[in-house]
Amino acid sequence: MLLHLKSSSSREMEKQEERGRKLLLVPCPFQGHINPMLQLASVLHSKGFSITIAHTQFDPPNPSAHPAFDFISIPDTFLEQQTSPENMIDLVLLLNAKCQEPFKKFLAQMINRQDPSHPQFACIIYDEVMYFSPAIANHFKLPSIMFRTSSATTFLVRAVIPKLHLQGCLPLPDSILQDPVPEHYPLRFKDLPVVKFGSEEQILRLMANLFNTERSSAIIFNTMDCLEQSSLAMIQHQKQLPIFRIGPMHKLAPNSTSSLLEEDTSCIAWLDKQAQNSVIYISLGSIASMDSKEVEEMAWGLANSKQPFLWVIRSSQKIASEWIESFTKDFKNSVGERGCIVRWAPQKKVLAHDAVGGFWTHCGWNSTLESICEGVPMICRPCYGDQNVTARYVSQVWKVGWQYENELKRGVIEKIVQRLMVEEEGKEMRKRARDLKHMVEASIDKDGPSRNSLNEFVEFITSS
């Protein structure tokens, strides 16, 4: 009898332990969000957790690239739209509306199953954009943890937007755009992450949802103290929640791959033939794009700069595939071997390549971290939202890039590319970028702050 009691209680303990090591992650189906979430999944898996990814049917991740994880598709979440800044708010609102009920049913099934081989989860880690998750987690008495895939500063300054609305200052009048935002130096009003697309009511609803951490037990940021210490301290003060700064995530999980598009690796062989630090790499991430007029200005600016370049041009709502094909063919004939154009690059490998000496970027958070981690200085051309905040930090706080603010003109592009790639000022910028890279590297050293924060996070989920 005693023996029986002992074994059943030890089975219970084992079950509990297993539960404590099983995590459910809810990524947002956009490239700039899936990448860091799957990197976080790899990091936690390496710490002994088993990982289940609950994903939408819209732009799902590729399970075969992650054989160690379980993947569960949330039913009825297929959307046909292409992601673009113009429909971003609609898409996010729609995704949240569509996911809520199927996700609840799925969790109910998992919990009702009461099967020891399917223990309940220790917690749900959700992308902040998938804000339907915490209410459902709460319904099943599971803790939920927000994962913020972009910068801490953007998270912080978003709170200014509803205040501006209450003061009747939205949309922002031209007269204040250049003015500094009180308490948020060096941001100007024009740098605030106000998404121009969508109705004011939609924008405010979205902002309120994204900033709401009432039901979350903690927040994880893909960032580091050495980049955003004061913003993190202010968030900590406001939120009174455990805040974990575990970044740069792609360096903590170097082998994680989660590209939704096929990478054209031929550009690496092209880079191998170029001189050290000679190539400017141009990419605007997975959502932002140029229109055909901007592409032409960029093309002639690059051609006239006489620098080798690697340029990612994706098809988008602004430029069709056929136009890119014929433009690329003609343009390549004029620049020959000096230029390489691809539809999608293995970006992390590109930025790590010795030949790459500068990055023309839209300042998506992942691209910015990837550039900083390789010591590559930037020309910042933000397109919307958080990219404006990040571009300002790159140019004014970390001082590892310049921001290009006005209309794209070939003459100005030519000059700024030469300034970065060949002039003395550019060399100084590259030196600062290398110094910053070393500071960031120190974060993930054995006793660095990001490693420590990761260990604290593991302790937090296993003990709560």
Shortest distance in whole angstroms from residue 205 CB to ligand UDX:
19
Query: Looking at 27, 29, 32, 134, which residue binds ligand UDX (CB under 6 A)?
Result: 32
Query: Looking at 24, 27, 29, 30, which residue binds ligand UDX (CB under 6 A)?
Result: 30
Q: Which of residues 265-324 bind ligand UDX (CB under 6 A)?
A: 283, 285-288, 312
Query: Looking at 128, 191, 370, 414, which residue binds ligand UDX (CB under 6 A)?
Result: 370
Query: Looking at 56, 274, 307, 367, which residue binds ligand UDX (CB under 6 A)?
Result: 367
Q: Give the C-alpha separation, 74 to 103, whole Å.
A: 6
Q: Give the C-alpha separation, 281 to 325, whole Å.
A: 19
Residue with smaller CB distance to ligand UDX, 122 or 394: 394
Residue with smaller CB distance to ligand UDX, 357 or 364: 364
Shortest distance in whole angstroms from residue 82 CB to ligand UDX:
13
Residue with smaller CB distance to ligand UDX, 384 or 460: 384
Q: Which of residues 215-274 bind ligand UDX (CB under 6 A)?
A: 259
Residue with smaller CB distance to ligand UDX, 217 or 223: 223
Shortest distance in whole angstroms from residue 107 CB to ligand UDX:
26
Shortest distance in whole angstroms from residue 347 CB to ligand UDX:
3
- 233-240, long-range: CB < 8 A, 24+ apart: 234/156, 235/152, 235/155, 235/156, 238/156, 238/159, 239/213
Site for ligand UDX (CB under 6 A): how many residues? Answer: 25
Q: Give the C-alpha separation, 379 to 427, whole Å.
A: 14
What is the amino acid identity at position 209? N
Is 31 a binding residue for ligand UDX by CB under 6 A? The answer is: yes
Shortest distance in whole angstroms from residue 268 CB to ligand UDX:
12
Q: Give the C-alpha separation, 28 to 216, whole Å.
A: 17
Residue with smaller CB distance to ligand UDX, 54 or 312: 312
Q: Which stretch binds ligand UDX (CB under 6 A): 45-53, 98-106, 331-339, 362-370?
A: 362-370
Is 386 a binding residue for ligand UDX by CB under 6 A? The answer is: yes
In terms of Cβ atoms closer than 10 Å to its own Cβ (0-12, 13-18, 19+), residue 268 is: middle
Residue with smaller CB distance to ligand UDX, 8 or 266: 266
Query: Looking at 347, 388, 395, 450, which residue binds ligand UDX (CB under 6 A)?
Result: 347
Q: Give the C-alpha separation, 92 to 88, whole Å.
A: 6
∠ Cα 238 246 431 (to 5°): 105
Q: Which of 261, 263, 262 is nearest to 286 (CA)?
A: 261
Q: Which residues contact 449 (CB under 8 A, 6 or more apart)?
A: 224, 225, 226, 245, 443
Residues in contact with ligand UDX, shown as a per-residue x/- string from 37 to 76 under the rule CB under 6 A = ----------------------------------------
Is 150 a binding residue for ligand UDX by CB under 6 A? The answer is: yes
Residue with smaller CB distance to ligand UDX, 299 or 345: 345
**Torsion on CA atoms 188, 191, 194, 197, rounded to nearest 10:** 130
Residue 401: both structure tokens together: 């890039």
Q: Which stretch binds ligand UDX (CB under 6 A): 32-40, 113-121, 303-311, 420-428?
A: 32-40
Is 77 a binding residue for ligand UDX by CB under 6 A? The answer is: no
Shortest distance in whole angstroms from residue 365 CB to ligand UDX:
3
Q: Which stretch binds ligand UDX (CB under 6 A): 19-27, 175-183, 318-326, 345-353?
A: 345-353
Is 29 a binding residue for ligand UDX by CB under 6 A? The answer is: no
Residues that bind ligand UDX (CB under 6 A): 30-33, 35, 150, 259, 283, 285-288, 312, 344-345, 347-348, 364-367, 370, 385-387
